[in-house]
Chain A
Amino acid sequence: MKKYIVILFLFLLLPIGVIAQEKPTIYLFYSSSCPHCKEEKAYLNELKDVSVKMYEVTEHKENSIWMNNVKKTLGDDHQYVPYTVIGDISITGFNENTKLRIETALEECQKEKCENISQKVKEAGKALTIEKEEEETKKEEEEFELPLLGRVNGKEVSLPIVAIIIGLVDGFNPCAMWVLVFLISLLLGMKNEKRRWMIGITFLTTSAFVYLLFMTAWLKISLTISQITWVRMLIGLVALIGAFVNIKNYITMRKKDIGCTVVDEEKRKKTITKIKKIVNEKSAFLAIIGVITLAFSVNFVELACSAGLPLLFTQILALNKLSILSYAFYMFIYIICYLLDDILIFMIAMITLKITGITNKYTKYTHLIGGIIMLLIGLLMIFKPEILMMNW
């Protein structure tokens, strides 16, 4: 008898919440003629420990009314299906990206009980207004006080900060710096001030354009392939390899003498002759053409030298759902930060007519910082990609 009492007692101790934990419910509003809806239905049917409720909206008016009331309640102002609702989280459309969001939403609802908005709207028979206060507190948690900038929302600020940090680290990479320094050294010998500025600005703008071309191309690729999980994992792995190479460079550089490394003799001599030709060119038009081709060739070399970082940054952009304008904006920030040291050196030289070099003492640290950034992003891409989705 005592044995049963003990068992009963133990049974009571068990956190009942654990046994009777309610399975999260997924509401899917779909149309029978929609291909993505079919895919999502097959996907949802395979999920374990969830209860799935599906409602066809084109042939059943009451379902369509209900769906629109849910959309109004959650602030989704569109007509698209499939439309998935988990607790108070809504997800439109179906692809690898939304799969990730469904999984994240389920995790959140398993951790913390979610308010079943769809059921509430059905019972009310009309759209509801969610207490703003709940949304306010969520927004407040993401906000913090920054000197000078004041109150700032973490979600909105993180992408620009990532663009600035990675852009700056990428920019301090000395790969193509020597070409600019050499170009400036020769420009300073030039009497025609206007021509000096024209050639220098053309070199810098072409460099920015080449980088923009490369990042746009890579972003286009990322937007398609990075939705596929194994591709994202592969890119994460490439990032980890890049991290290893950079950190190894840092370790070997620490033992070496600091200074300018004499790069490939042949290539350097060719570039030097090209630059001399440009600077001594009588025709301004030909000089501009020459400096554009120089900037193109030099920056393609630069890309190979630091392709890791811009590639990773465009990968982060691809993971975030942004408009084309936002993509362009963040790439613009990245490229400005990337060119910042070049712009500074050029401006100072043109104004003071004296060339200022940037010490190479800290070059090794760009390898270290670049390596750590790649390590972080690589790990996040493989294990926690949703953290990189800062824009949701």
Chain B
Amino acid sequence: MKMIRISALWCSSCIVTYPIWKELQEKYPDISFEEYDYDMDSDQIASFQVGQVLPVILVFHQGKEIKRIIGEKKKQEIFEEIEKMMEKL
């Protein structure tokens, strides 16, 4: 399983939600986490078709995108969505 976060240096929502992304990494140590910058890594993220709102968290399972969390969400919301998804797997 893999989680990818796409943010930008100029995006205050990305700054505000960064601690939540850190906590996710601590909570799920056996999942691999990757981070990309919307401007600096535009080539690598082209295929993800991120859209107009940042940050974006993509969840992949066996190479397939199974979840997408868009924008500045509360910690509880993010954790609940991830847990629900984990239960389904």
Contact = CB atoms under 8 A, between A and B. Distances in A.
Interface of A: 174, 177-179, 181-182, 185-186, 256-262, 268-269, 272, 355-361
B66 interface: no
B28 interface: no
B38 A359 contact: no
Contacts of A257: 53, 70-72
Given A182-B10, A259-B71, 20 more contacts: A177-B12, A182-B8, A257-B70, A258-B53, A259-B54, A259-B70, A259-B72, A260-B8, A260-B13, A260-B14, A262-B51, A262-B53, A268-B39, A272-B39, A357-B13, A357-B14, A357-B15, A359-B12, A360-B16, A360-B72
Contacts, number: 76
A358 B52 contact: no
A358 B52 CA distance: 19
A355 B53 contact: no
23 contacts: A174-B12, A179-B10, A181-B10, A181-B15, A182-B10, A185-B9, A186-B9, A257-B71, A258-B13, A258-B53, A258-B71, A258-B72, A260-B10, A260-B12, A260-B53, A262-B53, A272-B39, A355-B15, A357-B14, A357-B16, A359-B16, A359-B72, A360-B13
A126 B51 CA distance: 80
Contacts of A185: 9-10
A261 B39 contact: no
A381 to B, nearest CB: 34
B11 interface: yes
The 3 closest A-B pairs by CB, nearest first: A357-B12, A357-B15, A259-B71
A274 to B, nearest CB: 13
B54 to A, nearest CB: 5
A195 B12 CA distance: 23
